[in-house]
Every structure is written in C-alpha cells, then in structure tokens.
Amino acid sequence: MSSPEQDPQEAIRRADEEVIDVRRGMFGVYDTPDTSGYGRLVRAVTLPGSSPRPYGGYFDEVVDVLSAALKSNGVEYTDAIEKVVVYRGELTLHVRREKLIQVAQRLRDEPPLRFELCLGVNGVHYPHETGRELHAVYPLKSITHNRRVRLEVVAPESDPHIPSLFSVYPTNDWHERETYDFFGIIFDGHPSLTRIEMPDDWHGYPQRKDYPLGGIPVEYKGAKIPPPDERRAYN
C-alpha cells in the first residue's frame, strides 16, 4: 500500500512476490464520489514467489520424498512441480495440471507422506493473471504424520480443464461440483459434473470476479437487485 505521492511500482516491488495487478481505491473502484477518504490508495495484488531451500520443518522432507517417489514412477519432479511456496508457515506445491493425479497419488500412498485426507477444492479467480486466471487449491492432511500440505493448479479461462481427483480422493465429489458451479472449472473425469447450488440453466459462474454484483433477476420473487453503485447516492 502506498501514499498518493509515491510511485506505486516502487511501493509494491518485492523480490519474492509476483505482482499481477495494481488497484486504486479501497475496493478497486475509482472515478466515483468518495466519502471514505480511501479513494487515493494504491495497492498491489501480489502472489508469493518461489521459496528457496531450506524450506524449514518437515517441508524439505515432504518435497524430497515426493521427488524420489515421482522419479521412481517415471515422472520428473520439475515436470510435475512448477514451484514451491512457503508462506506464513504453510507449504504450497504448485502442480502442473497434467501431472496432478500422479502427484496426489504419491502424496497419498507413499508411507513417509501418507496424506490420506483431501479437505476439498477451493476455486480462485485472478482475472488479471493472463493465461492463468483460474486456480484450484487442494488442502491435504496427513492423519498418520499430523502434517499439512497444499496443492495449487492453474488453468486459463480459455481452457478451464483440470483433472478430477475423484479417483484418488472420492470425497472430492461434491467439492469439485461446487467449484465447477461457482467458478466454471471443468474437472475432467468427474463421474457427474453438474451444478450443485445454482439452477441447471443458470448462466455464468457467480464467484468469478468478473461476474456482475447485482442486477440479477430473483426468479422466485420476480424482483431485481440493483448493482451496489445504484443502491445509494451521496450528495
């Protein structure tokens, strides 16, 4: 975050972060009447960069065992893992989508790893990260070793396909349906990828950041919710 007089690029530049957008104002809204006093803020939208070794704690062991397990199954570690991020005490493995099933299977089945439980899948939409707009995030838990790791996979809006993890973690059935429903990520290989919250004939994906905020007809009442900037006016 920077003051209005500061060069926004200088204020946000950090070696360990990837800047994907720069927003102005409290919520990215500008050129409108501002009664909050925050309209001149400059803020960066950043993603953590790749972390150097050593990662600390059990993280190095997890990465080393996974690398050896992948290689023994004919998959090179660098072909499967884009980068490793250690941020705020948590380990995230950024996995190439075509290798997701192999990585998840090794994390589940290798005795030193034994990440038996997948806690679902969360969708994220970064509309300004060109070619990598859609992210799927999988938190994994090892009950055996009391450890956690997170997998993150990206796909472009133009090709929103990611392999389903249903065959490795069957409990992801409804989680993948919900992420498909709200973000439009297509999980290839899912046994029944249909909407789970919205009506079957609903157009669009409500949790994408380019989805309209209001003005959507409420079918069962015949009402219409106005967009936020039309709900209240300031003199």
Could you tell me if 77 and 87 are in contact, meaning their C-beta atoms sit under 8 angstroms apart? no
Is 8 inside any structural domain?
Answer: no
Q: Which domain holds residue 30?
A: 17-48
The answer on 112 and 91 residing in a single domain is yes
Is 223 inside any structural domain?
Answer: no
Query: What is d(CA 196, CA 218) in angstroms, rounded to the nearest whole number?
Result: 18
- pLDDT given at position 2: 43
The answer on 36 and 92 residing in a single domain is no
Is 116 inside any structural domain?
Answer: yes
The answer on 122 and 79 residing in a single domain is yes
- Which three-class secondary structure state does DSSP give residue 129? coil
Query: What is d(CA 142, CA 135) in angstroms, rounded to the nearest whole number?
Result: 23
| Closest CA relative to residue 77, chosen from 54, 96, 51 | 96
- Residue 179 scores a pLDDT above 60: yes
Could you tell me if 219 and 230 are in contact, meaning their C-beta atoms sit under 8 angstroms apart? no
Instruction: Please write the tens of the pLDDT for every residue from 25-52.
Output: 766 555 666 666 666 788 888 888 899 9
CATH of the domain at 158: 3.30.460.80
Phi, psi of 94 (to 5 degrees): -90, 110
Q: Using the 8-state DSSP alphabet, how is residue 87 labeled?
A: E
- Residue 15 scores a pLDDT above 60: no
Average pLDDT, the chain: 85
Is 175 inside any structural domain?
Answer: yes
Is 213 inside any structural domain?
Answer: no
- Which three-class secondary structure state does DSSP give residue 21? strand
Poorest-pLDDT segment among 2-11, 44-53, 87-96, 112-121:
2-11
| Closest CA relative to residue 102, chosen from 82, 129, 122, 76 | 76
